[in-house]
Amino acid sequence: MTSHQGENRVLEMSSTVPKSSNIFWHDCPVGKTDRQNLLKQKGCVVWITGLSGSGKSTLACTLGRELHTRGKLAYVLDGDNLRHGLNKDLGFAAEDRAENIRRVGEVAKLFADAGLVCIASFISPYRRDRESCRALLSDGSFIEVFLNMSLELCEARDPKGLYKLARAGKIKGFTGIDDPYEAPLNCEIEIKEVDGVCPSPSDMAAQVITYLEDKGFLHE
């Protein structure tokens, strides 16, 4: 596939325009506000992005547990987990990465509309794809959390052994090694390493919780 063909496929797969013209949106009497009032919280998407090994899944699960202990309904969408089902037909070429994130963005939007705090944990290396997901939630309920951990730290941690495989040439197109990661320009939350060490999961979750509380997502 040429680069031009690949770009066209990305645009086609990422299009928000339905292929069929004879479909109609059906509104139901119970809306987002009704669901939020029932749950006593506001639906939103917490989108956690960063390099492999930066602590995304750990933060997502810790945040989910903390919200649960507070009586708040949340659901974690994890990159690897979704590739076992919804996205199992996708690889890691640029066009597949774009479609992967497009699907996740649409699912996350549904969870937010249901009134949940949707925690999406994905490398999501391309800025354009993340911004497309942000555009799906135009009411300020998309919260981008950038785990700004250095490549050196992530590679030293290497919890899945993927960096070692990438360095050995056994994995191609690995983010941070031979495929780029485009850091967010205007994320809501940025979490940095401290003296070369990743903050504790509880500290990172507390930072996100504080933001959600301050912005009114955890109460009516």
In sequence order, the 6+-apart residues with CB closer than 8 A to the CB of 47 are 108, 120, 122, 124, 130, 133, 134, 142, 143, 144, 145
Could you give the CA distance from residue 194 to residue 96 in angstroms, rounded to a whole number?
34
- In this structure, the strands spanning 142-148 and 44-49 are parallel
Could you give the CA distance from residue 8 to residue 220 in angstroms, rounded to a whole number?
43
The set of catalytic residues is 124
Beta strands in the chain (DSSP E): 44-49, 74-78, 117-121, 142-148, 189-192
Q: In this structure, are residues 157 and 53 in contact, taking their beta carbons and an 8 Å threshold?
A: yes
98 is written with which tokens?
A: 């774009």
141 is written with which tokens?
A: 């309920």
Number of neighbouring beta carbons within 10 Å of residue 82: 19
Could you give the CA distance from residue 135 to residue 107 in angstroms, rounded to a whole number?
14
187 is written with which tokens?
A: 């994320």
One-letter amino acid for residue 154 of the chain: C
